[in-house]
Amino acid sequence: MSFIKLTDVDLIYGSADPKEKSAQTLAVSSANLSIAHGEFLALVGPSGCGKSTLLKLVAGLARPSKGSVTVDGQEVTQPLKTVGMAFQNATLLPWRNIRDNVMLPLEIVEPYRSRQRQEREANRERAETLLAKVGLTGFADRMPWQLSGGMQQRAQLCRALIHEPSILLLDEPFAALDTFTREDLWSVLQELWSFRKCTIILVTHELREAVYLAQTVHVMSARPGRILKTSTIDIPRPRTLESTFQPDFVEIVHDLRHHISLGKQN
């Protein structure tokens, strides 16, 4: 039973008028995806291949030009409220401290919104517990600019999870970080997923990251993005940095790389 389902989805950017074909960009072409409840899925592919566009389609921030997107059996026609998002830029609000940044969704999403006055204390605690989970104990009162890039990303993950969304959409969240910080955050994210068990779609161009984290990896072609290859990753969890040096891990990465270069030739 698939939780999120994309059926023959096309997305055309630009003019909707068929006469102005030259002004149109086909960002995604006949994409079919099926994601089970609680699945961790990764989309990899060259930049500009429409990976981020697929996320927007799932979140309901963009509507497909053709085909259908359903979440939990419902056609997605407007922005979903059960979604958490994180991006390459931490996009924290510079005028709020880390705790208040993390609590932002609770001020917007129901049922938290109407209860936020009564549950202010509980919500603060909830934010601090989550911050502790990602290793930011004691940073709740800091302002975003006082944190390093990696710490800002950790805070962003907390903001994306605080309202307990059923879907977490990650758009290259670790792309701007150095390798060591990035590898740290892989294990943070793996642990968050292991106790939250939400459905995660991770967009990345880093193959090792995809294989480390995901259960299923989809390789996309260059624009217009099509899904070239789907691999199931059977490496046991919890995966560690050590796993990334094992022969089976290396072989999967190698195989995916091969499909990407094949996609470039065609």
Partner 1 sequence: MTSKSVQRLAPWIATVGFVILWWLCVVIFDIKNYILPTPLEAVEAMYKFRYPLFVHGLATLMTTLIGFVIAVGIGMVLGILVGSSRLLYSALYPLLVGFNSVPKAALVPVLVIWFGAGTVPAVITAFMLSFFPVVANVATAFATIEPELLEVMRSLGASRRDMTFKIGIPRSLPFFFASLKIAITLAFVGSVIAEIVAGNSGIGNVMLVASSNFNVPLVFAALIVVGIMGIGMYAIFDFFERRMTSWSIRGGSGMQQMGGG
> Which residues here bind partner 1, judged by CB under 8 A?
56, 59-61, 79-81, 83-85, 87, 89, 91, 93-95, 104-105, 107-109, 142-143, 145-151, 154, 159, 163, 169, 177-178, 180-181, 184-185
Q: Which is nearer to partner 1, 50 or 84 (CB)?
A: 84
Residue 185 C-beta: closest distance to partner 1, Å: 7
Q: Which is nearer to partner 1, 173 or 224 (CB)?
A: 173
Residue 262 C-beta: closest distance to partner 1, Å: 32
Residue 184 C-beta: closest distance to partner 1, Å: 5
Q: Which is nearer to partner 1, 166 or 221 (CB)?
A: 166
Q: Which is nearer to partner 1, 83 or 233 (CB)?
A: 83
Residue 218 C-beta: closest distance to partner 1, Å: 21
Residue 88 C-beta: closest distance to partner 1, Å: 8
User: In Å, how far from its chain's centre is CA 75?
Assistant: 20
CA–CA dist 243, 198 (Å, integer) = 23
Q: Which is nearer to partner 1, 57 or 260 (CB)?
A: 57
